[in-house]
Amino acid sequence: MTVANGFTTLNTSEAAAYLGLGESTLEKLRMTGKGPVYLKIGRRCLYAQHDLDAWLAQHRRISTTRAA
pLDDT digits (tens, 9 = 90+) for 11-25: 999 999 999 999 999
Fold classification of 2-58 is Multidrug-efflux Transporter Regulator; Chain: A; Domain 2 (1.10.1660)
Report the C-alpha gap between 43 and 19 in whole angstroms. Answer: 22
Angle formed by the axes of helices 12-19 and 49-58, to 10°? 40
Helix extents (H) in 1-44: 12-19, 23-32
> Structure pTM?
0.85
pLDDT digits (tens, 9 = 90+) for 19-47: 999 999 999 999 999 999 999 989 999 99
DSSP 5: T
